[in-house]
């Protein structure tokens, strides 16, 4: 029960177990699907010991834990009873893209560990064969190769299980669909039998027909290692199963529902869904290869530069089915190869920080982050070290981009889904052995690592960016903060910035933020900081927080024309202010009588320096309530 208290606190701050629809985990994250994300106390979770950060993406509420997430997951699942929790909860209305990411991560997350493990075994077996340590005729090679191939060969069976679970269907029904798709007799018929006739002759989808079902031609395909056919077939099967569950009496439902479901679903899967999905997969493979061939170097640069950003928001899941599909259809994948140097670039940057810093706390964070980074797990490095300091994260992206460009230039391709970090090296060995692409992968990760280290070590690293928590220098900025909350300086109704009748604000040209239609003529300081600008007309005030966030409060439209009339500042330029200090009063009725609109934008004028500025979802707001969250 090592993580019992942490698990209890996590459950409490996600809104309680009654707010949890489902829970899974990946290598470093607990992935919650919450009924109402507004009930979660994100700030409290982020500040907890044992939690790295929180990411809300793809319809999931992701609590980043680190390498020990399986143990924490076990505690959370046991205490919350989520494994037995009902899943009959209406899906949250999210965009199609978020729904796609959520579906893909839900299907692949449960098998990620075994997928990496079998890929590593297959990769090392290929390495031993290339080095001449094993012969492909030896029993040792045959057994190791079988272990490495087992999951990928029977992939539809495993994905049938996880897909059915994701689509809330009978998991064994999903496995039955997958097993039928890879039924060995079908492969034997295709390899040794004579076709009855050929469909679509002379086209790119020309298909020999070896058998029929009730007179309907069945286009047999090789579904081993495939992804799209089983996911779509299981999705359709889930819908069909749900229909039969509603119309079949409960007394015979146990066996008649699966009986009817399989009888309807599998012919559809073999006759329509499987062939169409396979052709779609072939087109997807051809399309990604076409994009790669337009400029392998640019593709590698973009994948290297943005891979860590994809990881932060969980968007990397969108590339997983593409890579697996390419390996199935094209026997290799050049797209994901470009990201291979990203974890090494991140690790090189962390090593430089580890050697440069004199902060005991930062050193203690850097050592485990470096070790996990070597093995491809970079979340501790990203969230604990590089991202909060911005510059190290940017430098790691630059190093990864250059490494990705080299990998693209060398034509590197992945031939299997395998391990991460150094364990991923064997996955780039071609069936013909160590070729130019394999050596390109080696050069790419070395360049990424060395360049990340050099850029950080000699790039003006300042240890005062990472002050100890017990620093007694109150006038120094707290640069380790992950986000800053801007409280409301006014009382009134919330208006979206794009609805403000002033293009300078509505287009976002002056920065991100929100607007308030004031109900009282008082303005309070929204952050702790320095009043850096106070217009002579009194209608606008700029405050720079101690974390560097620049907040501009602009009372009304064109009120500069009043030349200060009806505005009474309570502070002077250069004054230090605290959150909630009264900084200005204005006569609302008099300003309105002059014909001016009082809609007041509150913006972060240097918002381009930050990851995001998140507005409140409230329709009306009172003084000192949370208005904006600046993600630093």
Give pLDDT, residue 474: 38
pLDDT value at position 101?
A: 65
Across 219-233, 253-267, 372-386, the highest mean pLDDT is recorded for: 253-267
Distance CA 55, CA 61 (A): 6
**Number of alpha carbons in the 13 Å side-chain half-sphere of residue 298:** 5
Query: In this predicted model, what pLDDT tens digit does every residue of 569-579 receive, in sequence order?
Result: 998 888 889 99
pLDDT at 94 (0 to 100): 52
* Distances 350 to 62, 347, 355, 521 between C-alpha atoms, Å: 24, 5, 9, 50
**Gyration radius of the chain's alpha carbons:** 29
Q: Could you tell me which CATH number the domain at 4-94 has? A: 3.30.1360.60
pLDDT of 238 above 50: yes
pLDDT at 4: 86
Mean pLDDT of the chain: 84
- Count CB-CB contacts under 10 A for residue 520: 13
For 190-217, how does the pLDDT look when each residue is reduced to its tens digit (9 = 90+)?
877 788 888 888 777 788 888 999 989 9
CA distances from 213 to 27, 198, 241, 270 (A): 44, 16, 21, 10
Which residues are catalytically annotated? 26, 554
pLDDT at 90: 43
Per-residue confidence band for 390, with pLDDT thresholds at 50, 70 and 90 = confident
| 531-549 mean pLDDT | 85
> Which of 138-142, 315-319, 432-436, 530-534 shows the lowest per-residue confidence on average (mean pLDDT)?
315-319
pLDDT tens sequence across 423-437? 889 999 998 889 999
Output the six-digit token pair for 282: 């072939």
- Which comes out higher in pLDDT, residue 34 or 474? 34
Average pLDDT rounded to a whole number, residues 300-314: 83
The mean pLDDT of 168-173, rounded to a whole number, is 92
Q: Can you give the residue ranges of every domain in the chain?
A: 4-94, 154-292, 307-466, 483-631
Q: What is the pLDDT of residue 233?
A: 94
SS3 per-residue string spanning 470-503: CCCCCCCCCCCCCEEEEECCCCEEEECHHHCCCH
pLDDT, average across residues 342-356: 93
CATH superfamily of 483-631: Glucose Permease (Domain IIA) (2.70.70.10)
CA–CA dist 119, 147 (Å, integer) = 9
The span from the CA of 558 to the CA of 538, in Å, is 12
Q: Mind listing the pLDDT tens digit for each residue in 33-72?
A: 888 888 999 888 888 888 877 877 657 788 888 767 788 8
Tell me what pLDDT residue 464 has: 38
- Run of H or E residues at 580: none
Identify the three-state secondary structure at position 599.
Answer: coil
Closest by CA to 460, choosing from 359, 389, 402, 360, is 389
pLDDT of residue 600: 94
**Comparing 244 with 605, which gets the higher pLDDT?**
244
- Rounded to an integer, what distance in angstroms lies between the CA atom of residue 444 and that of residue 297? 12
Nearest to 164 by CA among 106, 105, 94: 106
Residue 240: both structure tokens together:
């069909």
The angle formed by the CA atoms of residues 94, 95 and 99, to the nearest 5 degrees, is 75
**Longest Cα–Cα distance in the chain:** 94
Burial 346-361 (b: 16+ CB within 10 A, else e): bbbbbbbbbebbebee
Q: What share of the chain is helix, strand, coil (3-state, %, to 5)?
A: 55, 15, 30
Angstrom distance (rounded) from CA 303 to CA 297: 10
The answer to whether 258 and 286 have CB atoms below 8 angstroms apart is no
**pLDDT cut 70: percent of the chain above it:** 91
Residue-level pLDDT at 612: 79
Which of 186, 184, 227, 232 lies closest to 209, judged by CA?
A: 186
- Which has more confidence, 106 or 514? 514
Comparison of pLDDT for 384 and 614, the residue scoring more:
614
| Alpha carbons within 13 A on the beta-carbon side of 167 | 27
Q: Report DSSP state, residue 433.
A: B
Provide the pLDDT for residue 409. 94
Q: What integer is the mean pLDDT of 542-547?
A: 88
How many angstroms separate the CA atoms of 504 and 470, rounded?
42
Mean pLDDT of 88-116: 67
- For residue 47 the two structure tokens come to 């500040």
Count how many residues are written for the chain.
632
Q: Residue 410: what pLDDT? A: 94
């Amino acid at each position: 029960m090592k993580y019992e208290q942490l698990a209890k606190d996590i459950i409490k701050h996600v809104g309680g177990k009654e707010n949890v629809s489902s829970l899974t985990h990946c290598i470093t994250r607990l992935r919650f699907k919450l009924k109402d994300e507004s009930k979660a106390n994100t700030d409290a979770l982020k500040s907890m010991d044992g939690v790295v950060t929180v990411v809300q993406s793809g319809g999931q509420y992701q609590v980043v834990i680190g390498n020990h997430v399986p143990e924490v997951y076990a505690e959370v699942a046991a205490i919350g009873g989520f494994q037995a929790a009902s899943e009959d909860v209406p899906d949250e209305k999210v965009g199609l893209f978020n729904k796609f990411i959520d579906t893909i991560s839900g299907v692949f997350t449960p098998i990620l560990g075994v997928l990496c493990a079998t890929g590593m075994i297959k990769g090392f077996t290929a390495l031993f064969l290339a080095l001449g340590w094993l012969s492909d005729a030896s029993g040792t090679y045959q057994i190791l190769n079988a272990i490495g191939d087992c999951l990928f060969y029977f992939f539809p069976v495993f994905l049938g299980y996880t897909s059915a679970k994701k689509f809330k269907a009978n998991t064994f029904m999903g496995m039955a669909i997958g097993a039928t798709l890879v039924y060995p007799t079908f492969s034997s018929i295709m390899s040794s039998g004579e076709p009855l006739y050929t469909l679509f002759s002379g086209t790119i989808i020309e298909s020999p027909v070896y058998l029929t079902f009730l007179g309907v031609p069945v286009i047999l395909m090789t579904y081993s290692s495939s992804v799209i056919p089983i996911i779509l077939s299981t999705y359709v099967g889930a819908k069909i199963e749900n229909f039969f569950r509603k119309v079949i009496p409960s007394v015979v439902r146990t066996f008649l529902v699966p009986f009817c479901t399989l009888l309807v679903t599998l012919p559809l899967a073999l006759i329509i869904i499987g062939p169409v999905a396979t052709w779609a997969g072939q087109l997807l493979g051809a399309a990604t290869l076409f994009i790669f061939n337009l400029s392998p170097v640019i593709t590698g640069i973009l994948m290297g530069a943005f891979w860590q950003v994809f990881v932060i928001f969980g968007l990397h899941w969108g590339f997983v089915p593409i890579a697996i599909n390419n390996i199935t259809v094209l026997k290799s994948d050049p797209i994901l190869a470009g990201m291979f140097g990203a974890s090494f670039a991140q690790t090189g940057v962390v090593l430089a920080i580890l050697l440069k810093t004199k902060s005991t706390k930062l050193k203690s964070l850097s050592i485990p982050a470096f070790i996990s980074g070597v093995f491809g797990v970079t979340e501790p490095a990203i969230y604990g070290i590089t991202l909060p300091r911005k510059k190290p994260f940017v430098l790691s992206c630059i190093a990864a981009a250059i490494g990705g460009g080299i990998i693209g230039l060398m034509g590197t391709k992945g031939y299997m889904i395998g391990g991460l970090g150094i364990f991923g090296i064997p996955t780039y060995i071609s069936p013909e052995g160590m070729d130019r692409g394999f050596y390109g992968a080696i050069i790419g990760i070395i360049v990424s690592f060395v360049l990340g280290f050099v850029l950080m070590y000699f790039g003006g690293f300042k240890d005062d960016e990472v002050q100890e928590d017990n620093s007694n220098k109150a006038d120094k900025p707290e640069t380790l903060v992950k986000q800053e909350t801007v409280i409301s300086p006014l009382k009134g109704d919330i208006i979206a910035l794009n609805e403000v009748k002033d293009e300078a604000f509505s287009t976002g040209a002056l920065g991100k933020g929100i607007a308030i239609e004031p109900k009282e003529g008082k303005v309070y300081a929204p952050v702790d900081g320095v009043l850096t600008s106070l217009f002579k007309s009194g209608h606008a005030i700029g405050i720079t927080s101690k974390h560097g966030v620049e907040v501009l409060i602009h009372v009304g439209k064109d009120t500069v024309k009043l030349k200060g009339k009806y505005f009474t500042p309570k502070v002077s330029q250069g004054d230090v202010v605290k959150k909630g200090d009264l900084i200005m009063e204005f006569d609302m009725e008099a300003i309105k009588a002059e014909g001016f609109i009082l809609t007041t934008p509150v913006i972060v004028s240097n918002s381009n320096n930050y990851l995001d500025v998140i507005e409140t979802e409230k329709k009306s707001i009172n003084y000192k309530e949370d208005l904006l969250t600046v993600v630093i």
